Chains A and B, each alone.
Chain A
Amino acid sequence: MPPKRVHPLQFLSSTRLVVVAGKGGVGKTTVTAVLARAAFRAGMRVLAVDLDGKPTLADLLPDQPSESISAKAALAEYLETHGLHRVAKRLATSGVIDVVANAAPGIDDIVVLGKLKQLERSEDFDVILVDGPAAGHAITLLLAPASLQAAVRGGPIRTQAEEVADMLADHQRCQACLVTLPEATPIAEALETAAALRDRVGVRLGPMVVNAVDLGTKLDEQAGGGGSAMARAAVFTNARRAMHAAQARALDESWGGTHLTVPLVDGATLDAAEVDRLAAAIVGGR
């Protein structure tokens, strides 16, 4: 069966909000930046959103719009607009905000999703890419509307949850995109996360992004004589490449959807120039 690859721009034009998710260390931020860069290079109006409050994403995309949304700030803002403006600050610094955040399950998640929905509705952007939380928390985040609707019968939070649920259910408005590495454990975990997102959240899944793939061909393992530095390095690199290729095949067999490949970075550090180069590579090639 031929690999079901998808052109990144085709995917990025098919929905307005993309939540990028995956286990820690798989390169979610890199992939978010590369996809946002690819859209930017194609002339799309794109916003990159980070939920961690770390400056990394903005640094990787210095000349295009990006924004940071923190759960704490979003919750404080929500409380302010709902009659708690005078105490919101004190609540935030005293730890009591945790009580509010946990009085209803996932209230901090819903205010973050509410902010994203607001951006999506604004129509200021063709596509919004969100550097989402690590896999386990991504499921909790996206499940928040459903669990809140079960727990809260009325009021502004319920309305918010209903509106966010509508957005998640509409694939023309929102899709999730999972990132993984071409190794057995990360792929197995990504497939589990995919199943959970599909069955429990009901959000449409975009392509599975396989990050840091070594795309080179097989090297001569006898170069310089067996046992030489060159030969041993070739054996190592061949083993890694064979593993990457085997894992890509295994993914195609068990994953019903499409996938995208982001090549391995050889550079010293991942910087804006490298992101731009990777964006050109994924749009131009495979």
Chain B
Amino acid sequence: MSALADTLDRAEVLICCGSGGVGKTTTAAAIALQAAQHGRRAVVMTIDPARRLADALGVPGALGNDPVRLDAEGAGELWALMLDASTTFDGLVLKYAADDLQAERILANPFYRNVASTLSGTQEFMAAERLHALHHDPRFDLVVVDTPPSRNALDFLAAPSTLTRFLDHPLFKVLMLPARRGFRVLNLATQPILRSIGKAVGGEVLADAIAFFQAFQGMETGFRSRADEVNSLVRDAGVTRFVLVASPRADAVAEAAFFASRLSDYHVRVSALVVNRSTPSFGDPPDTVPRAAAGRASYDNLVRLNTMAGHERDNIRKALGRLADAATWVPLLAHDVHDMASLEAIRFHLFEATG
């Protein structure tokens, strides 16, 4: 059994990670398809997939924030959703707010709207949050997810602790001091540090920020324990497994090595490696070189492909060491992946092809 098949068997949560453009979304979808074909109730969460992938999954139009059941053959079920970070954040606010008024005050706050849509790490934290919710959803026994396409794709792992670190910060505590409406805002604005921040970014945006933190009051305990739960789920190797997706292309190997070193900084153990879009092998060239020009060109082409395939194996081995030994190689297909048939072809190469 391949490392990938073994990983899928053991995982309740499977995270496909890797740098941008290596085919994480397609790989995640093909893995979920395999699980569904083998009787599992799998849900795949994608983040900003190409519309064509949504089409490939058989979803007319686009995927939404709620899981939809897809038309897949097999004993199990295949569901898919596309994360909407800001709707998910709103859901958390509604859940932890003491009453409707508090929720409303927060949701209408301009600073909150900005945080919910653009705060670096928000999308990552919401992806982790959503993953936690899906894991506890009785409809599913497997959650497959691709990591968000952020500048630092591993913010995903850091996000829950970034949030708690922020909640623990002295400045945040100052902002959270019991408020006597209006009065407190004036007081805060006279604090030297806030005065300087206000000078740099403008007074009204700072006032919005302060209003947000005061409205947030009482919710931080809920948020903190939620962040802790999410963090321990992602870190629980008995439940959550990581699959590293890499491209062997000359200009992408450095990225893969950089990414793998970042993973070990986070103490993440990668259970399987998928090398996508590799040059396929067709066998050795004949002993005699064809004399005719046309035959010669085809001979050179085969030699060129074999040389490229050899370089790719060396590149991956050099960049990823031990992981490369148990890698699953998916060849570059002759055509683009944009329908269910090509997704099935990827699934076949991930789980059934040999060599």
Contacts and interface: CB of A to CB of B under 8 A. Distances in A.
Interface of A: 23-27, 29-30, 52, 54, 56, 78-79, 82-84, 87, 94-96, 98-108, 133-134, 136-137, 140, 151-158, 183-185, 188-189, 212, 216-217, 219-221, 223-224, 228-237, 239-240, 243, 265-270, 274
A96 B172 contact: yes
Interface in B270-303: 280, 282-286, 290, 294-295, 297-299, 301-302
Contacts of B171: 94, 96, 99
B253 interface: yes
A52 B285 CA distance: 43
A218 B309 CA distance: 21
A243 B334 CA distance: 8
B99 interface: no
Contact of B201 (A100, A216, A233, A240): A100
A230 B201 contact: no
Given A24-B20, A184-B336, A243-B336, A233 B166 contact: no
B268 interface: no
A236 B204 contact: no
A147 to B, nearest CB: 9
A239 B335 contact: yes
Question: Is chain A's interface secondary structure helix, strand, loop, or mixed overall?
Answer: helix
Given A95-B165, A219-B298, A25 B247 contact: yes
Contacts, number: 200
B290 A224 contact: yes
A94 B169 CA distance: 7
Nearest to A235: B334
Interface in B191-221: 193, 196-197, 199-202, 204-206, 208-209
B301 A234 contact: yes
Contact of A229 (B162, B196, B284, B290): B284
B196 A84 contact: yes
Contacts of B114: 102, 104-105
B282 A229 contact: yes
Contacts of A237: 301, 305
A99 B253 CA distance: 35
A10 to B, nearest CB: 26
Question: Nearest 8 A-B pairs (CB), nearest first?
Answer: A25-B21, A24-B20, A223-B298, A24-B21, A229-B283, A239-B334, A220-B294, A268-B311
A51 to B, nearest CB: 8
Given A23-B21, A140-B118, A188-B52, A267 B250 contact: yes
Contact of B205 (A140, A151, A229): A151
Given A133-B151, A155-B199, A230-B298, A183 B336 contact: yes
A219 B286 CA distance: 17
